[in-house]
Amino acid sequence: MTDIQETKQVKDLVTLGEFVIQKQHEYPGATGDLTQIFGAIKLAAKLVHREINKAGIADITGYAGQENVQGEQQQKLDVYANEKFKAALAARGLVCGLASEEEESFVEFNQPQNVGSKYVVLIDPVDGSSNIDVNVAVGTIFSIYRRVSPEDGPVQLEDFLQKGTEQVAAGYVIFGSSTMLVYTTGNGVNGFTFDPSIGVYYLSHENMRIPERGQIYSVNEGNYVHFPMGVKQYIKYCQERDEASSRPYASRYIGSLVADFHRNLLKGGIFFYPSYAGHPKGKLRLLYECNPIAFIMEQAGGIASDGHRRVLELEPTELHQRTPLFVGSPNMVKKAEDFMRAFA
């Protein structure tokens, strides 16, 4: 490809900023706020991308020497990413507060530019951060809500404890062989690939749709003996030979929710993290992981369930609430729910 051909090809691409502006007319009362919030998210994501791509030669891998509110060892990258996203969002003046998997409580942005802000953001700054040491894909998951407390007062806990159905937007950034930002505002799912040479996200995956059925199941089978009977039976179903349903399915488990979810979104499949003896309420966080992932999946034509109920309708009662998660191709999630009901 010549330089002229390459330049023309780039000119034909749509950037993330251009795309968001083009779609603003689809939302009643749109003011351009989301464009600026996404601007903050993509800026912080660029900084995290830069650090991840220096892993091994920069001091960004390994433990930070402290625990988060869940009692888990924080990685250095967790701390770095949390601070970058927090600073970027606070600086835009459109977000009045943030709740993060790495913070014990929500963070109020009370600088003059944030007074009267309409939105709150919930975020998992680096999902799968323990994998950074071994060069495996990790990601950022986020969701945006309109606050419910008075805009002339301080942000409140109730602003963050909203059902997933109330999300204004949700998305994730996956840091893998390329860096991609995938998001929805309730009108389909679109993906943007980062060009690090010029620092721009270009539309690369328009109107993403998950296949009705897939041939991949993703679960940590190391916990098999502790799983509920319904989950055990569903795994056996996935492993049985049946030509009519193209079984057995392939088992693929990376250990980064974003990476497993992204693969299944593109190829079709199911990811599930059920409750078990060590985590009777599940392990994944409802607000920081499951709600945004569920919103994206439903907008892509899939299903997100806790095994019995729609994830987006679960009532949050605390910031770090956990829940089981079954998410993916409709045919596969419905079958998993059938097994959960049969062996309840």
Whether residue 188 is found in the same domain as residue 223: no
d(CA 287, CA 339): 26
**pLDDT greater than 70 at residue 26:** no
User: Per the domain annotation, does 210 fall within a domain?
Assistant: no
Is 78 within 8 Å of 124 (Cβ atoms)?
no
Q: Which domain holds residue 118?
A: 3-205
Region 53-60: mean pLDDT is: 61
The overall average pLDDT reported for the chain is 90
Q: What's the pLDDT at 44? A: 96
**pLDDT greater than 50 at residue 344:** yes
Question: Domain containing 127 — which CATH number?
Answer: 3.30.540.10
Residue 293 is which amino acid?
Answer: I
User: Per the domain annotation, does 211 fall within a domain?
Assistant: no
Q: Which residues pair with 192 in a beta bridge?
A: 181, 203
Whether residue 165 is found in the same domain as residue 267: no
Q: Counting beta carbons within 10 angstroms of the beta carbon of residue 153, is it exposed (0 to 12), middle (13 to 18) or buried (19 or more)?
A: exposed
Tens-place pLDDT, residues 138-151:
999 999 999 999 98
**CA end-to-end span of the chain:** 59
Tens-place pLDDT, residues 101-126:
999 999 999 888 888 899 999 999 99
Tokens 């059920």 locate to 274
Q: What's the pLDDT at 54? A: 75
The Cβ of residue 284 has, within 10 Å, a number of other Cβ atoms equal to 22
Q: pLDDT class for 338, splitting at 50, 70, 90?
A: very high
Total tally of structural domains belonging to the chain? 2
Whether residue 25 is found in the same domain as residue 169: yes
Whether residue 21 is found in the same domain as residue 153: yes
d(CA 44, CA 56): 21
Q: pLDDT class for 82, splitting at 50, 70, 90?
A: very high
User: Per the domain annotation, does 323 fall within a domain?
Assistant: yes
Q: What's the pLDDT at 64? A: 46
Q: Per-residue DSSP letters for 93-125?
A: SSEEEEEETTSSS-EE--SGGGTT--EEEEEEE
